[in-house]
Amino acid sequence: MPNDVLKCIKSRRSIRAYRPDQITEQELQAVLEAGLYAPSAMNQQSWHFTVIQNRALLQQMSEETKAHLLNSGFPRYRRLLTNPEYSVFHHAPTAVIISGVEDAIDPRADCAAAAQNMLLAAESLHLASCWVNMPIYLFRAENGPEWGKRLGIPSCYKPLYGVVLGYKTDKPAKTHPRKENTINYIR
């Protein structure tokens, strides 16, 4: 019964440590194509992907996001956000911002399916990946709309999720046990 797809789904983990070297263009394109092949409500394909591979820009975005979150009062994350070593992109060399058409039927579902496809495609290529939400707060800051413009996100799209990509380090990823009693049956 177990096949490569089921194995990939089980082996995928959120990776928060990355090698500094960039992924290949071929790997990037395979991951992006997987995102494009997600299902979407009424086939609206309500997503837009912004690929950021400029290290200085990622660093700047991370610093601004952290400052914005600290100012907005995220007491739970204060220690993380005040750590100069912490990056909201986990220092991955590639980040993809997934944005959804605001007035589509269900952009949050469409874009989440695209994100999950990207994570699985990455895992299938032995890449490290992580679904990241913190960078999205940058677009909710006062100058958030300017960031959207600067990154070339068309104005009818709203940034919803982030995915970071890179190569794995030797640091093993934690496996979380699954919660119990989350399924019921009616037969």
Candidate list 81, 88, 92, 119; residue touching its own copies; CB under 8 A: 119
For 90, the token pair is 């986990």
131 binds its own copies (CB under 8 A): yes
133 binds its own copies (CB under 8 A): yes
173 binds its own copies (CB under 8 A): no
Residue of 108, 89, 96, 95 whose CA lies nearest to 38: 108
Interface stretch with its own copies, choices 67-75, 80-88, 139-147, 173-181 (CB under 8 A)? 173-181
Helix (H, G, I), strand (E, B) or coil at 132: strand
Phi, psi angles (nearest 5°) of residue 161? -140, 160
For 59, the token pair is 């660093």
3 binds its own copies (CB under 8 A): yes
Residue of 28, 11, 4, 66 whose CA lies nearest to 167: 28
Measured CA to CA, the distance from residue 111 to residue 98 in angstroms comes to 7
Residues in the interface with its own copies (CB under 8 A) total 62
SS (H, E, C) 123-146: HHCCEEEEEECHHHHHHHCCCHHH
Candidate list 16, 18, 23, 47; residue touching its own copies; CB under 8 A: 47
116 binds its own copies (CB under 8 A): yes
75 binds its own copies (CB under 8 A): no
Query: Beta strand pairing status for 127-132 and 47-52?
Result: unpaired
- By CB under 8 A, name the binding residues for its own copies: 1-6, 8-10, 12, 14, 26, 30, 32-34, 36-39, 41, 43, 45, 47-54, 57, 105-106, 108-109, 112-113, 115-117, 119-121, 123-125, 131, 133, 151-153, 161, 176, 178-179, 182-187
